[in-house]
Amino acid sequence: MRSSPASVDLSLELPPVTAAGRAAGAMVALATAFLAWAVVRSGGSMTASLLLLLAGSSIVAALARSWVRARRQPALRLVARADGSLWLYVAGQGPSRTTIGVGTRVIGPSVFLDLRVESSPVGERFRIWLTPFDVPSLAIRRCSVVLRRCGR
């Protein structure tokens, strides 16, 4: 059953990789390089420096692999209806009713969504931090208004 445009308060395309995720990867890479440089500069062993570089690069590689996997997943769209219900649409699948989790927050010009997918037997959680680099600022403001009406 498809809803008419008049009954939809918010329709938000969720990006597969967010700016916050990319920033976390960049921070890990920079911290790794700085720590390795600091160990060498302070007279530490080259082995310790190489181990730090190896550990940091494996974390960055794991993040990059998760980004590639996320880009291959079907597109996600969050829809808030006028009756206060939230639905998560996955391309090629039916909609899943979701509820707002306790971690959902409006943080300055961004919003952190903590959603629980009710149609999943284990109550799968979906978390994403949306910033103005991911979706338009107007959509985030609209999302903050709609989330209050939906119970958070």
| pLDDT value for 121 | 56
State the burial class of residue 20 (Cβ atoms within 10 Å of its Cβ: 0-12, 13-18, 19+): middle
pLDDT tier at 1, thresholds 50, 70, 90? very low
User: Bigger pLDDT: 9 or 109?
Assistant: 109
Query: Taking the chain, what is the end-to-end CA distance rounded to the nearest angstrom?
Result: 26
Task: Write the pLDDT tens digit of every residue in 93-144.
Answer: 878 888 888 888 888 888 888 888 887 655 688 888 999 999 888 888 887 7
The DSSP line for 23-78 is: HHHHHHHHHHHHHHHHHHHTT--HHHHHHHHHHHHHHHHHHHHHHHHHHHSPPEEE
